[in-house]
Amino acid sequence: MAGKETLVEKIMRVMKDRTKIRNISTAAHIDHGKTTVSDSLLAGAGMLSEEIAGQARALDYLEEEQQRGITIQAAAVSMVHEYEGETYLINLIDTPGHIDFSGEVTRAMRAVDGVIIIVDAVEGVMPQTETVIRQSLKEYVKPILFINKVDRLITELKLDAKQMQERFAKIIKDVNRLIEEFAPEEFKGKWKVSVEDGSVAFGSGIHKWAISLPYIKKTGITFKDIIEAYEKGKEAVRELAKKIPLHKVLLDMVVKHLPSPVEAQQYRIKHIWTGDLESEVGKALVNCDPNGPLVIEITKIIVDPQAGELGLGRVFSGTAKRGMEVFLRYAQRSVKLQQIYVSKGPHRLQVEEVPAGNIIGIAGIKGLSVGEIITSSPDIPPFKEIKHLFEPVVTKAVEVKNPKDLGKLIQVLRAIGKEYYPDVKVEINERTGEYLISGQGELHLEWIETKIRKYFGLDIVTSPPIVVYRETVTKRGEVAEGKSPNKHNKIYIQVEPLEDQVYEAIRKGLIPEGKVKKGQLWKILEKYGMDREEAKRVLDICGGNVFVDMTVGIIHLREAIDMILTAFEQMCKEGPLAKEPMTKVKVKLVDAILHEDAIHRGPAQIIPATRQAIRKAFFSAAPTLLEPIQRIRIDGNAEYFSNVAKLIQSKRGKLREVEHKGDKVTIIADMPVAELIGFTSELRSASQGRMAWFRVDQYFAPVPKEMVKDIIKRIRERKGLPPEIKGLEETEE
C-alpha cells in the first residue's frame, strides 16, 4: 500500500497545476502584525506548532529580527491548503513593515500576484499602509484586506459590536480610497475590497481566529459571540479559534479572491516586461506556459555565510530543472542550475524541477543579482526595472579596523549591494580608498552595519551619516566647447533643466532608464511634455537626466556616439559641482568636429572632450544643489504639539497638516533629510517619549541659496577635492 504523501511530494504535485497556485505576500505598517499572522498561517498548514504560533516569529529567522521584533528581510514559504475539496499551493512572502526596509516590499511584489494588506484595528490606516498599497498596485498585484488585532477593540477599548463595525467601516473606506487612487486604470473600481463579497476578514493573529461574511453565514458565529468568548476567558477564545481558525478563513479568502499565475500573467506581463507579446517568448509569458522558453526573474538575493548566495525568484515561463544549462541575461554567461528548492521559512526543500507560475529558490550560482533573468535563450528582452518608491539618501563611510580584512570588506560590500538593491547602494572607490553604503535612513544603515559585524565577522568603523545631494541646473546655459587632449576633436554641448513632468515620470518608473532604441519611447516623452523633435532624438536616460542628439549630418558621429554617451553617464553619476549625482538635466549635443582617422578619436580623446563640454555648459546654466526632503507623519499626545512644532521649525521643517482628535494629534511635515539625523531621540525628548514618526514620501528640493556654497565646500573637502571650483577650467580634475 502506498505510504502517506510527504509535504515535498504534495508541493511537487500541486505546483504542476498552475490554476491551483497562489503567489501572495503580506504587507502592512510596522507592528500591525504581519509576521504573527504569517505564523498562524504556517501553523494551520502544519508547519509550526499551534502552541507557539504567534510567538515563534518563524519567518523572522535572523537573530537581529527576533531581538528587534521587526521583520527586516522578506522571508518565503510554500504551503498547501485544502479548499472545497481541492488542494492549493500557497507561496507566501512575508515582508517588512518598517519604511527603511520597504525596498524588500517592492521586490517581493514583482514575484507575487496578490497581497494581504494587514491593518491594525486600533491604529487604522497608517503611512506605511499607504506605501505598501502603492507599491503593490504599481506592480499590478491585487489586494485583499485583513483587519487584525480585533481582540484589542474588545479587551482594551471595550467596544460593542456596533462600535466595532463602525471602526471597520472607516478602515475599509480608507483602504478603498487608496486602492482607487493608486490602482491601474483597468482595475479602478474592480479591485476595491468589500465585506459583502468576502474580500475582507477580521480577526486576531495572536489568538489565531478570523471571521469573514462567508464564515458568518457558514458557522452562524457573530461579533457578539466573539465578544462573549473574550468575556468568558482564555479557554473560550481557544475554542473560538478552533471554530473559525485564522489560517482557514484567510487562505480560503486568498484562493477565492486572489488570482492564479495563469490569470495574473494575462494582465501583468504587458506592464512588467519590455518585449513583444506576440513573440514566442511573449506568448509563453502571457500564458504562463511551463513548456515555453525558461524565464526566471530574480527578485531577492540572500547572502548566507555558510551556503553562499541564494537567489529567490519567479518562474514566469518554462520549467526549471536541476542540472539544466541556462543563461544569465545581464551577466552574459552560461551556468548550470545545480540546486533548486522551495522555501519553508529558513529551511530549503530541494526539488528536481519547478514549472512556470511558482516561486523558486536557486543555490550554487555565483554573481546572481536582483533583476537578473535566468533564461534558456540569451536574447530574451528584459523585465522593467524593479523601481523602489524611495532612493537611498543617507550614506556612511565604512572602514575595517584591521587592514588585513580590506579584501574581505570589498567582497562583503559587493554582496550587500546585490542583496539589497535598489534600496541600498554600495560605492567602492578603490582610487580614493573610500567605501560607502547608502540607505533609506539611520535604522537601515545600522542594520547593515550589524550584518557586516555579526554575519560576516568583520570589525568595522563607520563615519557619522552623510546626506546624499543631487546636482542640477536652473536655466538654459550657453553652448560650450570641449576639446580632446590631442586637440583634434571638438564636442559642443548645451544643458537646460529637464521638464518637470518628464522628470517625475522617470522617477516613478513610467519612463524607463537606459539607452533608447530607435523608434521607441518618443511618444511617451512627448506625452509628458517634451518637444516632439527633441523626444525623437533622445538617445539615453540616466539618473533622471536625458541626453538628446540635436546634430544633423556629422561625419563619424555614429562611431563616436557610444563614447559620448559613456561620458554623459559618468557625469550623471558624478556631477561637476562636488561629484554628487546629477539629476533633472537635459544634455544636448548640438555639434561635433571629429578627426577623420579613427585612431585619433578613440575613448581617451572623445570621453574627456565630452565631459569637459558638459562641465562648461553646466556651469553656465545657474547650477545648484538639490537636497532630499522627507514628508513625515508624527503621531502622539496633543499636549506636546507646541514643543514638536518648535523642533520641526528649528530644523528647517515645514508643517503641512495638523489634525487634532481628542487628546491625540497627527502632524504632517516636510523635513530636510540632513536635519532628520538624530531626530528620533530629539523627538523623544520633546514629547517625553509620547510621539513617534514615520516617513510618508520623499522628493528633492533646492537647497536654500545661502547654504549652497558651504555645503559644496564641505562635500568637496570630504571627497579630497580642492575646496574651490574652477568653473571654466580647460582640463578636468
Specify the pLDDT at position 304: 66
* CATH for 18-263 (3.30.160.620, 3.40.50.300, 3.90.110.10, 3.20.20.80): 3.40.50.300
Specify the pLDDT at position 51: 40
* CATH for 471-621 (3.30.230.10, 3.40.50.20, 3.40.190.10, 3.40.50.1380): 3.30.230.10
Specify the pLDDT at position 331: 80
pLDDT grade for 388, boundaries at 50, 70 and 90: low
Largest CA distance in the chain: 92
Sketch the domain layout of the chain as residue ranges: 18-263, 272-375, 394-466, 471-621, 625-702
User: Which CATH number describes the domain made up of 625-702?
Assistant: 3.30.70.240
* Whole-angstrom distance, CA of residue 264 vs CA of residue 22: 10
Q: Convert 405-423 into a string of H (helix), E (strand) and C (coil).
A: HHHHHHHHHHHHHHHHCCC
pLDDT in tens, 223-262: 999 999 999 999 999 999 999 999 999 999 999 999 999 9
| Tally of CB atoms within 10 A around 248 | 18
Secondary structure (3-state) at 324? coil
Is residue 544 over pLDDT 90?
A: yes
Specify the pLDDT at position 63: 44
* Whole-angstrom distance, CA of residue 435 vs CA of residue 228: 60
Specify the pLDDT at position 533: 94
Q: Convert 473-522 into a string of H (helix), E (strand) and C (coil).
A: ECCCCCCEEEECCCCCCEEEEEEEECCHHHHHHHHCCCCCCEECCCCCCH
Asked whether the beta carbons of 410 and 123 are under 8 A apart, the reply is no
* Whole-angstrom distance, CA of residue 264 vs CA of residue 286: 9
CATH fold, domain 394-466, is Alpha-Beta Plaits (3.30.70)
DSSP H or E stretch at residue 297? strand 295-304
User: Which CATH number describes the domain made up of 272-375?
Assistant: 2.40.30.10
User: Which cell goes with 485?
Assistant: 587632449
* Whole-angstrom distance, CA of residue 612 vs CA of residue 352: 56
Q: Convert 589-604 into a string of H (helix), E (strand) and C (coil).
A: EEEEECCCCHHHCCHH
Asked whether the beta carbons of 388 and 103 are under 8 A apart, the reply is yes
User: Comparing 394-466 with 471-621, is the CATH topology the same?
Assistant: no
For residue 254, give every residue at least 6 positions away whose Cβ sits within 8 Å of its Cβ, in sequence order, or none.
22, 24, 81, 90, 114, 116, 144
Specify the pLDDT at position 389: 63
Work out the mean pLDDT of the chain and round it to a whole number. 86
* Whole-angstrom distance, CA of residue 445 vs CA of residue 465: 9
pLDDT grade for 65, boundaries at 50, 70 and 90: very low
Asked whether the beta carbons of 644 and 691 are under 8 A apart, the reply is yes
pLDDT in tens, 14-61: 889 999 999 998 888 878 887 788 777 777 665 543 443 344 443 343
Specify the pLDDT at position 506: 87
> Is the sign of the CA dihedral 381, 387, 391, 395 positive or negative?
negative
Asked whether the beta carbons of 203 and 253 are under 8 A apart, the reply is no
Secondary structure (3-state) at 202? strand
pLDDT in tens, 562-620: 999 999 999 999 999 999 999 999 999 999 999 999 999 999 999 999 999 999 999 99
